[in-house]
Amino acid sequence: MPATKAKTAIKAKAAKAAPAKRPAAPARPVPAKPKTQPKAMSAKVVPAKRVAAQSHKSVTKSGKTPASKKATGAQKALARKTSSAKPVAPAKSATSSKKTSPAQPVAPAKPVTPVAPKQPKPVKILRNIKLKPLAWGLLPTDWRDVCAELDQPSFRARQIWKWLHQRRVMSWDAMSDIPEPLREEMAKRFDISAWTDDTYEQSTDDGVRKLLLGCRDGERIESVIIPARDQATVCISTQAGCAFKCAFCATGKCGFDRNLEAGEIVGQFIAASSVSPRRLTHVVFMGMGEPFANYDNVLKAIRILNDFDGLAIGARRITISTCGVVPGIERLIAENIQVELSVSLHAPDDALRTKLMPVNKQWPLPVLMEACRKYTEKTGRIITFEYTLVEGLNDKPEHADKVIELVRPIRGRVNLIPLSPVKHFRGVAPSPEACIAFGRRLQRGGINVTLRRSKGRSVTAACGQLKLSRVAAIEAASIPRPVIDR
């Protein structure tokens, strides 16, 4: 033990051993001297203040009072108080000899300028680092293989699966019925938390919540919770950024960085469910990135979300949205899974669609519509065609007639979306009357139409507004707060 600690310990012991000090005895009361009666009853009664003044004047330099002017006990006490008190300075009169300067006019208060939010530190992306696999990205069969490799019975796999996807724990230590050695081994092999502490949530008046999630390597992605009357939908990202660069999509402007793992895709659902006031019932892959450009991880995540013993999201409540990647549509036909398919159309001819969506150069409209026809014939599912309305660009009656020619031969419906504001795109949304007129023209042509009302614009969470911007998300949030309670 260091010397200082030893000394401190010794002093403490000594203090404990020392006997407590005896309390001081109370002071004995001094008996008051009997008052002397005046000799003559006709003498005048002197006020106490005058007596104190007289006794104060009669004090000699030696500090004693002459015997001829001794005061009584009460008078002595009053004299002592008076002599010890500090003299009070006389109050200054209003008519002072000094000239007072005239009152100066009060300057108006300066307006308080709002303090700019503190700029966050620059994001550091960790390249070429090896991270542990995420536990959320394993299927039940994968957990059985892991348990078999560790010589564990197969029921351990079911236990781990239920802890993750039913109870949704965020720590291996929380799995109380798993042996501690197995928990320690799993912690060495797999991460449970998909996100860092640098994770934020933004809310709007219409109930939309946008999550800015920090990946383990420093990347940032966004997810959106969209409430409705009888359901709650989470919009999930599949890539960090996007390489397809659609004209009115903020994500494409940021460029592409990497695909998300299946565990990161499922992890978005887990993060959203932890902050959503209602149970999440629907999943749409309409966030950042092109789902069919990350096909394998997206399909694996769908199977995890759809598992009956886990999160149990019905296949028909899951929608995959594509900008028109034909090979992905063709692969989905053979999957034998009843998910919904949504195709971004946005223009009724190749010239305009190529201008808005560069993907049309690789898979033009005739090729895309043929793949959609095969999908509906072999699966029996209806395709939803997304059509963003831009004033003066694709909202004319002739555009509506061309859309009818494209969609009517296929089992499809059209979802009309007024353009959401995006900084780098100069277009604006048509008036509500123009949007309604466009939809009615499609209906008269035999097309099932829905006019969508975009939500979450105040926090750039509407269709086409998601982008990889940590600064913008923090500045827009009134009270940024962590989503994951770690």
Task: Give the predicted TM-score (pTM) of the model.
Answer: 0.70
Flag the least confident range among 193-202, 412-421, 469-478. 469-478
Cβ pair 468, 223 in contact under 8 A: no
The mean pLDDT value for 433-453 works out to 95
Domain 219-469 belongs to what topology?
Answer: TIM Barrel (3.20.20)
Asked if the 135-189 domain carries CATH number 1.10.150.530, the reply is yes
Does the annotation mark 433 as catalytic? no
Q: What is the pLDDT of residue 54?
A: 47
At residue 43, does pLDDT exceed 50?
no
Joined together, the tokens standing for residue 17 give 């051993």
H or E element that contains 301? helix 295-306
Which is catalytic among the residues 222, 261, 264, 386?
A: 222
Short-list 252, 373, 18, 305, CA closest to 136: 305
Angstrom CA distances, 61 to 56, 66, 83, 322, 380, stand at: 12, 11, 14, 108, 121
* Residues 418 and 430: beta-carbon distance below 8 Å: yes
Q: Could you give the CA distance from residue 439 to residue 448 in angstroms, rounded to a whole number?
A: 9
pLDDT in tens, 126-173: 556 789 999 999 999 999 999 999 999 999 999 999 999 999 999 999
> How large is the average pLDDT for residues 114-118?
43
Extents of the domains making up the chain: 135-189, 219-469
Residue 463 a catalytic site member: yes
Instruction: Give Cα 83 distance to the centre of its chain.
Output: 70
**What's the first-to-final CA gap in the chain, in angstroms?**
37
Residues facing residue 191 across a β-bridge: 134
Instruction: Output the average pLDDT for the chain.
Output: 78
- Residue of 147, 246, 372, 463 marked active site: 463
